[in-house]
Amino acid sequence: MDARQMREIPIADFLNVMGIHPSKQRGNVLWYSSPYRTERTPSFKVDTAKNVWFDFGIGKGGDIFDLAGEFIGSGDFLLRAAFIAKSGTCPLPIMKQAQRNEEKEAVFEDIWVRPLQDAKLLGYLKERGIDTDIAIPNCEEVRYRVHGKRYYAIGFRNDAGGMELRNRFFKGCIPPKDISLKRNGSDGCAIFEGFIDYLSAMQMGIIASDWLVLNSVSNVEKAVKVLQDYERIECYLDNDEAGRRTFQRLRNSFRDKVIDRSSLYADHKDLNDYLLFQRQV
């Protein structure tokens, strides 16, 4: 699929596969609550005949690439194309002699945090198999501004005071980046790559020890420094090359104290994928 064909993807289908549905329809016009910002009254319009959109709240509109740019806050064409492809509506386009511009690091402004209560965020976690009684005590709701636009996400605190962020469309971090460690006085510690897997373990009731979320496999050296006193280190890491390398790094430092628990979900990419599979059985 080339860029021209990608541009012809119905915007309504693009939104639908991301779980975004219209509030009302009048002829060829669909009305939505803006999918990338919060609002009370739907002011986001999609003309299905012309395959264009317009957001009256910000006074902007355009084609599917313009819409992808609003979701990710970027004017980079390849990043926008990748976002469209990631939605599942199509494969990546074949680009000739394309050059990617350097992306500026996101600057988070006007940040405020409150208990997790937004229905869309809780709904997203519900889709990942996480019930509200697990999500609310462990996560927070974070609202912030990037490039002048207001966004919101599920927040998970790390030990340096940063916040891991996640919503249906975005995965990132309000710096600084760090591990998240919870000590409960146990001689064992369960290790997870990300907080969704940690929440999955809580949902499944398989944690009976201290726990540590890496928040990125690049934080494994930080984890090594705080795991010295544990007698048992149980790894619930992803079933991919990065997960295997991380397990081996821990095994090199702590030898037989490190236990690989990935056999529990051997046919799945990670613990959350296994949780969703179990809920379908």
Are 124 and 168 a contacting pair, CB within 8 Å? yes
Q: Under a CB-based contact definition with an 8 Å cutoff, are residues 15 and 53 in contact?
A: no
CATH of 3-86, one of 3.90.480.20, 3.10.180.10, 3.90.580.10, 3.10.450.50: 3.90.580.10
Give dist(CA 77, CA 62) in Å, integer: 14
Query: Does the pLDDT of residue 88 top 70, yes or no?
Result: no
**Domain limits, CATH 3.90.580.10, in the chain:** 3-86
For the stretch 12-30, pLDDT in tens is 888 887 778 889 999 999 9
pLDDT (average), residues 218-241: 95
The reported pLDDT for the residue numbered 90 is: 52
What residue ranges of the chain are covered by domains with CATH 3.40.1360.10? 179-281
Tell which wins on pLDDT, 2 or 218: 218
Residue 217 scores a pLDDT above 70: yes
Determine the CATH number of domain 179-281: 3.40.1360.10
Encoding tokens for residue 204? 């499944």
What pLDDT is recorded for position 106?
60
Which band of pLDDT confidence, cut at 50, 70 and 90, is reported for residue 11? Answer: very high
Give the pLDDT confidence of 172-206 residue by residue, as tens digits: 899 899 999 999 999 999 999 999 999 999 999 99
Give me the pLDDT at residue 100, please.
44
Give the lowest-confidence range in 20-24, 102-106, 133-137, 173-177: 102-106
pLDDT for 108 equals 86
Q: Which residues contact 180 (CB under 8 A, 6 or more apart)?
A: 156, 157, 158, 159, 164, 195, 212, 213, 215
Query: 2, exposed or middle or buried, with CB in 10 Å at 0-12, 13-18, 19+?
Result: exposed
For the record, the structure tokens of 13 come out as 């289908």
pLDDT of residue 157: 95
